[in-house]
Structure 1
Amino acid sequence: MHGAEISPLMKDALVILGATGIVIPLFARFRVTPIIGFILVGLLVGPYGLGRMVFEYEWLSHVTITDPERLEPFAEFGIILLLFTIGLELSFNRLWQLRKLVFGLGALELLVIGALLAAVLSMMGQYWTGAMALGLALAFSSTALVLPISGTNTPVGRAALSMLLFEDIMIVPIIFLLGALAPNMAEGGLGDLWTTLWQGALVVAVMMIGGRLLLPRLFAQAARTKSPELFLAASMLVVIGASLVTAFVGLSPIVGALLAGLLIAETEYHTEVEGIMEPFKGLALGIFLITIGMGIDLFTIWDNLAMIAGAVIGVLLLKAIVTGILLRLMGARSATATETGILMASPSETSLIVLAAASSAMLIQPGTAQFWQIVTAIGLTVTPLLAMLGKRLARSVDEAPSLEHLDGDADTPRVIIVGFGRVGKLIAQMLQRHDQPYVAIDSNPDLIEEARREGYYAVFGNALREDALDKLGIARAPAVILTMDEHILAQRMVKKLRTAHSELPIIARARDSFHAAELYRSGASTAVPETLESSLQLSEAVLVDIGVPMGPVIASIHEKRDEYREKIQKEGALEHKPKLRTSTMES
């Protein structure tokens, strides 16, 4: 008895979903970005991996994908969803603020790197039209990978976003330029380009006006039904419709997807839409990365190892150096320029599109196109590693005030705040209000630079280093406050501090009561669970609002706080129970 035959498309979809279900939790467990996992899975189950062995072992056909072309529409749809979610995180006001960076830094980055790469390739024997096509293709960086890694709210994220936005804008003109340079397409190429540009500009203008008028009404109707399914359907309708319209007039569909996200970001419903689309973002990225992995042929790489390695290293170095120099010339800090330059060094998924267009226009030979496709795939694969390298190098060249440049009297006892994000700043404000000296330490140079500009006493450094807290004067510190929300790191810090300083008051931020109990076991004097404090604040607010006098409310809040802390300490099974504190200082 034979089961029902599964269509190849359904089988491929099951392989993709299965891989996604394995990669995301597995790599999250080891705190490794799933980007590398998706690419490795694509390499494993693709036609150049286990797919080679399907004819010898027929059962492998059920867990491999032998025809990656069937997944190309899914990969393209994945990129569309990614650009849509990126658009949701932005706004037109923010883009307007970035206009100088987009058309200044972005234009310089693409054109300078493209020209330098073209010059190098031309000197190596490539005809000038093909060299220009390859230079422009390799000058692109991956929007799909860089922005999820960098975010859009940090100095690195803003710099990367401005360059990536200009690259996305230039995709269509570059592809048409390659078509105009084709041996048999010189006539009419520029005419087609102008036609697409004016039609595209008209469509974008209509979408912007129509979107501002129609989208709030569309999502208001969906909100009234209180149906998440209808909200999802409306979101998909908008993104797919916008992508189809821009594709119809010759623009890239990702332009429509980005514009749809920007328009929804201007409405009051963007938070709900972003939450609904979040699960699809990871799936879309996974599909795209798996198809990238499928394009890597290890045997071809091995046969041309020296040439491919040289090409990858050369492209990465040139792009990183040029991008870093341009950022410094535009006024960026050394740390920001270093990290952004290295993160933007690898080629892009767009590079594959431009390479295909150049090959179709007969500007480069098929073998040349395949070689640079492999280089691009490898570059995409190492992007997460470049991100980690960039962060490390950025810290080594950072200009933020360090432990070697402490202000004031080094012998003054100071409360030490470890971690200086939103929570650390609030604690510093409270200490300042009561004239209590403090010093904050954080390993994020951007946070330290911002804190110094705002007048806080903060220094750059790694609190886990043996000598870091000694230089801050921990031997004389009245207390140490740990504000980081990393579960394991907080416990490690508490154990280290308690071992070295048995009498030191250690106040630690905890996620919940279970985390607080673990911190007490590690030696914390006081562990403040976020869930407990938020519940107490809500209780206080509602009691006061309904007319209960403030005095009894505050007394009951303190009583309940002490009751819960005593309970948590017992759960922590401490041999020496630390003294309870009733301070209202929140983590």
Structure 2
Amino acid sequence: MATEVVSSDLIKVVALLGAAVVVVPVFRRLGLGSVLGYLAAGLIIGPFGFGWFSDPQSILHVAELGVVMFLFVIGLEMQPSHLWSLRRQIFGLGTLQILACTIALTGVGLAFGFSLAVSFIGAAGFVLTSTAIVMQLLGERGDIALPRGQKIVSILLFEDLLIVPLLALVAFMSPVVPDHADGSRWLSVGIGVASLAGLIAAGIWLLNPLFRILAAAKAREVMTAAALLVVLGSALLMQVGGLSMAMGAFLAGVLLSESTFRHQIEADIEPFRGILLGLFFLSVGMSLDLSVVAGNWKLILSGVLAMMAAKAACIYVVARMTRSTHVDALDRAILMAQGGEFAFVLFSAAAAARVIDARVNANLTAIVVLSMVLTPLFVILLKRLSPKRQESFEGIEKADGLSGSVLIIGFGRFGQVMSQSLLARDVDVTIIDTDIEMIRSAEEFGFKIYYGDGTRLDVLHSSGADKARAIAVCIDDRVAANRIVELAKAEFPQARLLVRSYDREHSLQLINAGVDYQIRETFESAVNFGAAALVELGVSEDDAARIATEIRRRDAERFELEMAGGGLAAGAGMMHTNTGPRVAPKPTPFTTPRREGQALSEETAEVIRSPDLDNRAG
């Protein structure tokens, strides 16, 4: 019998893992995202699919630890000073959005004919956005650290805090009067405050000493166990205090955010977080009761669409009122238009307190689950219906009537470093680029970048190319760079032309086109990197410098031979003048002159003399 039970449990574990492994990659391959894949996998193997699982709620309770761990990892990235800087977004923007959404969603419930109490409970549950789904989608896009992502995270944190007063409000709305009500409510508040204070105290005075002791023991598995203990212990403490487990884990992460062990802790938690979060999405998919949806499909379908539309509209209006761009406001509205996992807790508490009945609880739960399922689909639709060319230009100035001694085209990593020398000498520069996000980010650091496509002649004129003494092409697109070179040589002969080269072949093309200076984008840094590696291995700086100089000389010689032979490969750092190409001066940290009588070893010389393995490398 025991063997049968074990085998049955093992089959369920294999079924969960197998469904995820098979379905999720297919959905990602189709461009539908991993969240939707997990939800679909859960629906397939759940009680309303193949029926392999009959009690998805039990799995959901365990899988909620994935959300807990997710917020712990987010907390590790939120230092207290950074969290304090977000206080206006958390309490200001969060309050405004929640109030607006609650009023609108309550109105939707009343319009469907529900009582005020039922409408309010439904609205309060639906206003609590799914932290798991939104954070997963933001993480897949890499938007969590961006300003728009930080605003969404701030609102989610405030919503997690909101579950506590909402549960207290449900208790007050209950028609059932509990025994010793006066004392029990104040006692619950006291326990919650004590739990919060205890967690903060432990985080300040206990966690760092604990990890220092464990690190000294040099037991990796104990460090992993300690990381899990911190996450689960903080969640349990908050749960005992009647607060949100996820909020407890988040606070623990914040308290450890400035610890020297935070990267190690994050690495230890990450595998568990990913697995449990996937399990959470699987269990949500299993929880979609198709029989309830089929029996009340008109109410549920119209309800989920009306609730999502009302919530999205409120979020968009609030975002625009707080000066977000149209694109960011629309993105936030679609991402946060669903109900969340805390709605299940609120609806269950309301049903236990007899504020709503079992039928209403089932319908509201189905609406929330369906909204969570639809959100990834709506995000995909938004992405496909919003072409990149429709990106918002609010706050972005286009190049028009500009002038400067130097026109810099492209302000990526290469252009940013290159511009520092000019700005250090107060050279009047004009900078254009086509990356909207980069332009906005650069403005935060004091750079004035104009929007402009350097491959267009009218944009070059508007950017002051006809008055510039030099044009620096710093983009990483060789086709676009060649087009700019062609236009500049024909239309702006007064300007010296300096171009970033992609590889040796591109270098030759640029010199044949008549540029004044070109440099291969990785050659010089790679030479210096190799010299530094030699020094770290014990080679003297003199020898490292000689080897670097010899590599540059041999590269220049090969380049001249290739030019003379009409080859298709080219070197780096060549300056083209009226008298022909010559090697441009190369700054290097290894400037010790070569001493007389010292020669390179024969092995080193042989390596340097050997032909390139790939003339296009670099």
TM-score, normalised to structure 1, is: 0.78
Instruction: Note the residue ranges of structure 2 that are not aligned, 5 or more in a row.
Output: 489-497, 512-517, 575-583, 589-617
1:408 is matched with 402
1:86 is matched with 74
Q: Residues 421-441 of structure 1: CA distance to partner in whole angstroms, max 9, x if unpaired?
A: x56533443564575956342
Question: 1:147 pairs with 135, 144, 147, which one?
Answer: 135
Determine what percentage of the aligned residue pairs are the same residue: 25
Q: Is 1:324 equivalent to 2:312 in the alignment? A: no
2:16 is matched with 16
Cα drift, residue 31 of structure 1 = 6.0
Classify 1:239/1:519 alpha carbon distance in 2 versus 1 (closer, same or farther; 3 Å): farther
- The answer to which of 433-442 and 113-122 deviates more is 433-442
Cα drift, residue 168 of structure 1 = 0.8
2: CA distance, partners of 1:26 / 1:308: 29
2:420 is matched with 429
2: CA distance, partners of 1:194 / 1:518: 77
Question: 2:59 pairs with 52, 66, 71, which one?
Answer: 71
Cα drift, residue 266 of structure 1 = 2.7
Question: 2:98 pairs with 90, 110, 123, which one?
Answer: 110
Classify 1:27/1:436 alpha carbon distance in 2 versus 1 (closer, same or farther; 3 Å): farther
Classify 1:29/1:423 alpha carbon distance in 2 versus 1 (closer, same or farther; 3 Å): farther
Q: Which amino acid aligns with 1:364?
A: I
Q: Is the 8 A contact 1:82 1:284 kept in 2?
A: no
Q: Is the 8 A contact 2:303 2:367 kept in 1?
A: yes
Q: Which structure has the larger Rg?
A: 2
Q: Is the 8 A contact 1:180 1:189 kept in 2?
A: no
Classify 1:129/1:229 alpha carbon distance in 2 versus 1 (closer, same or farther; 3 Å): same
Classify 1:473/1:92 alpha carbon distance in 2 versus 1 (closer, same or farther; 3 Å): same
1:125 is matched with 113
Q: Is the 8 A contact 2:167 2:346 kept in 1?
A: yes
2: CA distance, partners of 1:228 / 1:406: 60
Q: Is 1:580 equivalent to 2:572 in the alignment? A: yes
2:39 is matched with 39
- The answer to which of 541-550 and 335-344 deviates more is 541-550
Q: Is the 8 A contact 1:143 1:164 kept in 2?
A: yes
Q: Is 1:481 equivalent to 2:474 in the alignment? A: yes
Q: Residues 21-48 of structure 1: CA distance to partner in whole angstroms, max 9, x if unpaired?
A: 4456555566653112111211222222
2: CA distance, partners of 1:393 / 1:187: 60
Q: Is the 8 A contact 1:176 1:189 kept in 2?
A: no
2: CA distance, partners of 1:430 / 1:224: 46
Classify 1:251/1:541 alpha carbon distance in 2 versus 1 (closer, same or farther; 3 Å): same
1:399 is matched with 394
Classify 1:31/1:423 alpha carbon distance in 2 versus 1 (closer, same or farther; 3 Å): farther
SS at match of 1:439: strand
2: CA distance, partners of 1:131 / 1:278: 39
Q: Is 1:451 equivalent to 2:442 in the alignment? A: yes
Instruction: Note the residue ranges of structure 1 that are not aligned, 5 or more in a row.
Output: 52-63, 484-492, 510-515
Classify 1:127/1:448 alpha carbon distance in 2 versus 1 (closer, same or farther; 3 Å): same
Cα drift, residue 372 of structure 1 = 2.5
Q: Is the 8 A contact 1:75 1:288 kept in 2?
A: yes
1:218 is matched with 210
1: CA distance, partners of 2:266 / 2:173: 42
SS at match of 1:580: coil
Cα drift, residue 274 of structure 1 = 1.2
2:335 is matched with 343
Classify 1:29/1:503 alpha carbon distance in 2 versus 1 (closer, same or farther; 3 Å): farther
Q: Is the 8 A contact 1:133 1:358 kept in 2?
A: yes
1: CA distance, partners of 2:239 / 2:121: 22
Q: Is the 8 A contact 1:400 1:460 kept in 2?
A: no
Classify 1:415/1:92 alpha carbon distance in 2 versus 1 (closer, same or farther; 3 Å): closer
Q: Is 1:243 equivalent to 2:235 in the alignment? A: yes
SS at match of 1:265: coil
TM-score, normalised to structure 2, is: 0.74
2: CA distance, partners of 1:442 / 1:340: 24
- The answer to which of 348-357 and 323-332 deviates more is 323-332
Cα drift, residue 289 of structure 1 = 0.8
Q: Is the 8 A contact 1:338 1:393 kept in 2?
A: no
Q: Residues 403-454 of structure 1: CA distance to partner in whole angstroms, max 9, x if unpaired?
A: 4x446149x9844216x4x565334435645759563424443x32231343
1: CA distance, partners of 2:21 / 2:174: 44
2: CA distance, partners of 1:41 / 1:237: 30
Q: Which amino acid aligns with 1:350?
A: F
Classify 1:277/1:533 alpha carbon distance in 2 versus 1 (closer, same or farther; 3 Å): farther
1: CA distance, partners of 2:164 / 2:351: 16
Classify 1:223/1:29 alpha carbon distance in 2 versus 1 (closer, same or farther; 3 Å): farther
Q: Is the 8 A contact 1:223 1:231 kept in 2?
A: yes
The 5 A counterparts of 1:147-546 are 147-150=135-138, 151-185=143-177, 192-297=184-289, 301=293, 306-387=298-379, 392=386, 396-401=391-396, 403=398, 405-406=399-400, 408-409=402-403, 414-417=407-410, 420=412, 424-430=415-421, 432-433=423-424, 435=427, 437=429, 439-445=431-437, 447-460=438-451, 472-473=459-460, 480-482=473-475, 493-494=477-478, 507=500, 528=521, 533=525, 536-537=528-529, 539-540=531-532, 543=535
Q: Which amino acid aligns with 2:33?
A: T
Question: 2:122 pairs with 134, 142, 146, which one?
Answer: 134
Please report the RMSD computed on the Cα atoms of aligned residues, expressed in angstroms. 4.3
Number of equivalent positions: 542
Q: Is the 8 A contact 1:183 1:362 kept in 2?
A: yes
Q: Which amino acid aligns with 1:34?
A: S
Cα drift, residue 19 of structure 1 = 3.5
Classify 1:250/1:454 alpha carbon distance in 2 versus 1 (closer, same or farther; 3 Å): closer
Cα drift, residue 499 of structure 1 = 8.5
Q: Which amino acid aligns with 2:108?
A: V
Q: Which amino acid aligns with 2:460?
A: G
